[in-house]
Structure 1
């Protein structure tokens, strides 16, 4: 699904991943769940590309619903996978946390579980090898993604700023639709290690010029960073 020229999405508002596409190749931002591989193949076919055109995967963090098919790309196509140093062990399956779920609505929880199960959420393939990134780094990949530290949801959560498509990807730094309640609009994300730290980290994206703010769960926000953060603060309060 094309959001704008050079920016595409696979998945849906429950779990999504994104493609930055230019003449030099493709950068993937997150890889959803293992079963999103078929969605990737269909998306690539639609634009006349193949997995061999993917130059790198950049993970917003190391949780299982974001690392999806990354190991398959790395193993079968030699695609490098980048993750913040503080989440590298999580992406390799060496450590994890179990934060509180918070408010829930049964219907939303069941839809989340059903979708993630159907898309392979019970067969996580952790990374065998990752390339560690740090805050402020600009990667030599299509779109020249810039790494912005966004700790809180996890220690190594990051935002990824891609000026060429006027977008910042925030992973689970926030959500625009809670997978546990179904509530829509910018708000704190569930399953967060430290909500206070996550809220404080959002100041790191406050000055960015980006038309799109794109979470891993929920609809892409196309209204600029300032308005998004205003609505987030109101929801958090």
Structure 2
């Protein structure tokens, strides 16, 4: 499978995708400021600066970081932004402890099996390590993510309750653009298998796959026209179609 080069791309009006090693975070430029959705890995710092500079901005110009969940590959820049630039991260309270200890996560299958079962994915795993996947600092968060209640951050993102991948996972709907930031509740690249297309992340990093499957219904009812996942390419076929594909794909 061809690997994407690290980079910054425009994926919707006012939305920049920041990608390295199969990990995405998104910079949302709204009329009232800048919001970062998920905080990637430590090695994505220069890409974040590039994205901000393209908007004539700097890290301190961020109003907030909103986190879909607390895994290490989604909080990697949070503590640096908080400590050095005064930018707070927000997460659902059920994932607050995980954000402080982002390697202590529940999962249904042993992680060590996957490189043996999917050896073609080893280059991706190597690139994750090179991007700082083993050196993430946990972070303190504000726990003001309330499902269904628009957040007081630029873009007025609406948290979509979607537990299963983690206990407190939430997607975020940007109603103005019709985009759903689905985090790891619905991805188009499974980092543990290398498989592409709409799917769930493997049980190696998912707390409760059966609950995650049920959460797909909550994502579907948003009727988002664009799915922006935590891993993999944007999906332009709409969230209902993405959910149907994910159900057929099953869980590795």
Of the three residues 60, 65, 83, the one matched with 2:68 is 60
Contact 1:63/1:90 (CA < 8 Å) preserved in 2?
yes
Deviations 1:147-178 (A, max 9, x none): 11101011001111111221111111122122
**Cα 1:187–1:142, aligned 2, differ >3 Å: closer, same or farther?**
same
Return closer, same or farther for 1:98/1:199 CA change in 2, 3 Å cut-off: closer
- 5 Å-filtered alignment, 1:168-183, equals 168-183=180-195
Secondary structure of the 1:131 match is: coil
The alpha carbon displacement at 1:231 in A equals: 1.0
Comparing 83-92 with 208-217, greater Cα deviation is found at 208-217
5+ long unaligned stretches in structure 2: 1-8
Partner of 1:74: 82
Q: Is the 8 A contact 2:161 2:170 kept in 1?
A: yes
Identify the residue that residue 25 of structure 1 maps to in structure 2: 33
Q: Does residue 225 of structure 1 match 2:220?
A: no
* 2:106 corresponds to: 97
User: How far apart, CA to CA, are the structure 1 residues paired with 2:130 and 2:33?
Assistant: 30
Tell me how many residue pairs correspond in the alignment: 236
TM-score normalised by length of structure 2: 0.88
2: CA distance, partners of 1:210 / 1:192? 24
1:221 and 1:112 map into 2 onto residues whose CA distance is 20
| TM-score, normalization by structure 1 | 0.93
* Conservation of the 8 A alpha-carbon contact between 2:106 and 2:206: no
1:214 equivalent in structure 2: 228
Shift of the alpha carbon at 1:89? 0.3
Q: Could you say which residue in structure 2 is the equivalent of 1:87?
A: 95
In structure 1, runs of 5+ residues without a counterpart are none
Q: Distance in 2 between matches of 1:181 and 1:74?
A: 33
Partners of 1:124 and 1:47 in 2: CA distance: 27
**What CA RMSD, in Å, does the superposition of the two structures yield over aligned residues?**
1.7
Do the aligned residues in 2 keep the contact of 1:13 with 1:177 (CA within 8 Å)?
no
- Deviations along 1:90-136, one digit per CA (max 9) or x if unpaired, are 0011843244147541121x223211111111111111343342222
> Partner of 1:185: helix, strand, or coil?
strand
Q: Is the 8 A contact 1:12 1:218 kept in 2?
A: no
Distance 1:13 1:222, change over 3 A: farther
